[in-house]
């Protein structure tokens, strides 16, 4: 059994989720006495973070730039993917020379940006000879029953390259489809925690203190726009909820160009209502401690509609900070809420969100009336220890 020393992490996307994964994966690997090489569009910030938080491990950390690549690989040519693998191989070899080491495993997050149907396994091995694994995100083919279980992936299937000889394992956030993946690729399938950073500042930040003062004892329901989310339902709910009972916080960039017409109408209605129970922080929230501090000020976290294939990026944070959530029934968040009972799943009707809000209000204070054990259980599943266990399993090949 191999116990690799140097691992390369390849992050081809630059949103909050993958920035968090990069920091947490690297931190866990360093604690496991591994050398970590990271390729990321956010490489400068990652390098600063890691060198600040792991000063005594500086010689085991190296970050390199990588262009962001959020594309449908099924739509790109085989030649383009071939060239992409060759370029990465050259850069990995260059890193090996600079560090005077051998990279023994490459982890792609997500691996969806590096695999495609109808691309030959032998061609891939020739272009990319490293042992590799990766986080498979888009499982639409499994949910739509396009892929038959218990058979090898066909040349035209989305998961065909996962059967490559150099693929040592497959990772997924989706615990509901891990067995289905395993039945096709016949390799270890590891359920990775939806890990996040939970660090708090030394003292509460000014905005958090201001929110508490403005709320004046009202129930605080907050949402933070970390990815390409649809805040329509949250805005509608804030516009019609009782001002004397509820206080709403919306933090993050709201781009009019990305809002649906219904969301724009909801925002206009809320802004013109003259209500005194809303607070907006209209800026990009890149500082993890700032985000965590905001979450601690909320009584309830509202999770907007987002990526069906992944849990909302606030779900783990809310559980860690003991905050019940309201989230959509219609995506991965809804499935997790149904299983782990860390909050209430709702449909697209604002009336159902209001009902959920009122139901949670009746359970305050939550430490006495809400099953906090559910939040603690989910937080443990998504925590640092779970990540270390998953990485140890992944690297046992």
Domains in the chain with CATH codes = 6-195+384-394 (3.40.50), 206-381 (3.40.50.2000)
Report which listed range, 122-131, 146-155, 307-316, is most confident. Answer: 122-131
Rg of the chain's alpha carbons, rounded to an integer? 22
Q: Are 393 and 28 in contact (CB under 8 A)?
A: no
What pLDDT does residue 2 have? 61
**Three-state DSSP class for residue 380:** helix
pLDDT in tens, 38-93: 999 999 999 999 999 999 999 999 999 999 886 677 788 999 999 999 999 999 99
pLDDT at 1 over 60: no
pLDDT at 274 over 90: no
Q: In what order do the strands lie in the sheet with 246-251?
A: 278-281, 246-251, 219-224, 300-303, 325-328, 343-346
Q: What is the mean pLDDT of residues 355-372?
A: 94
pLDDT at 32 over 90: yes
Enumerate the H helices of the chain as residue ranges. 16-31, 43-53, 78-99, 121-127, 140-143, 178-185, 206-215, 232-240, 261-272, 288-297, 315-320, 332-340, 350-361, 366-369, 372-381, 384-394
Q: Are 113 and 107 in contact (CB under 8 A)?
A: no
Residues of the chain by 3-state class (helix, strand, coil), percent to 5 = 45, 15, 40
Lowest mean pLDDT across 81-90, 113-122, 226-235, 353-362: 226-235
What pLDDT does residue 183 have? 94
Parallel, antiparallel or unpaired: strands 325-328 and 343-346 = parallel
Q: Which residues lie closer than 8 Å to 48 by C-beta, 6 or more apart?
A: none
- Quote the tokens at residue 383: 């925590």
Nearest partner of 143 among 336, 331, 344, 346, judged by Cα: 331
Q: Quote the percentage of the chain above a pLDDT of 90.
A: 76
Report residue 177's pLDDT band, with 50, 70 and 90 as the boundaries.
very high
Q: Quote the percentage of the chain above a pLDDT of 70.
A: 98
Length of the chain: 397
Q: What is the mean pLDDT of residues 162-177?
A: 96
What's the whole-number average pLDDT of the chain? 92
What pLDDT does residue 370 have? 93
pLDDT at 290 over 80: yes
């Amino acid at each position: 059994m191999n116990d690799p020393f140097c691992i390369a992490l390849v992050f081809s996307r630059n949103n909050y989720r993958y920035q968090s994964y990069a920091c947490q994966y690297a931190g866990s690997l360093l604690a496991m006495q591994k050398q970590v090489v990271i390729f990321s569009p956010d490489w400068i910030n990652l390098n600063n973070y890691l060198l600040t938080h792991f000063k005594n491990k500086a010689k085991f950390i190296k970050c390199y730039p990588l262009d962001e690549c959020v594309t449908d690989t099924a739509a790109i040519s085989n030649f383009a993917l071939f060239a992409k693998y060759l370029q990465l191989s050259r850069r990995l070899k260059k890193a090996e020379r600079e560090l005077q080491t051998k990279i023994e495993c490459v982890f792609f997050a997500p691996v969806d940006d590096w695999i495609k149907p109808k691309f030959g396994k032998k061609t891939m091995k020739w272009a990319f000879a490293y042992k590799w694994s990766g986080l498979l995100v888009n499982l639409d083919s499994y949910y739509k029953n396009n892929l038959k279980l218990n058979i090898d992936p066909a040349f035209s299937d989305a998961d065909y390259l996962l059967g490559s000889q150099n693929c040592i394992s497959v990772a997924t956030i989706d615990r509901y489809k891990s067995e289905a993946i395993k039945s096709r690729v016949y390799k270890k399938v590891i359920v990775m925690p939806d890990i996040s950073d939970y660090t708090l500042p030394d003292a509460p930040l000014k905005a958090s203190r201001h929110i508490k003062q403005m709320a004046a004892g009202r129930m605080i329901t907050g949402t933070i726009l970390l990815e390409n989310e649809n805040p329509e339902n949250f805005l509608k709910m804030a516009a019609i909820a009782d001002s004397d009972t509820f206080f709403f916080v919306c933090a993050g960039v709201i781009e009019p160009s990305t809002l649906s017409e219904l969301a724009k109408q909801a925002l206009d209605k809320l802004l013109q209502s003259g209500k005194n129970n809303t607070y907006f922080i209209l800026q990009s929230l890149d500082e993890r401690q700032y985000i965590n501090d905001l979450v601690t000020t909320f009584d309830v976290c509202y999770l907007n509609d987002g990526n069906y294939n992944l849990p909302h990026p606030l779900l783990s944070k809310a559980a860690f900070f003991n905050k019940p959530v309201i989230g959509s029934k219609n995506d991965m968040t809804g499935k997790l809420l149904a299983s782990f009972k860390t909050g209430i799943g709702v449909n697209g009707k604002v009336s159902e969100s209001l009902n959920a809000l009122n139901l949670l209000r009746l359970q305050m204070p939550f430490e006495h009336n809400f099953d906090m054990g559910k939040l603690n259980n989910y937080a443990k599943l998504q925590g640092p220890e779970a990540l270390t266990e998953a990485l140890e399993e992944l690297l046992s090949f």
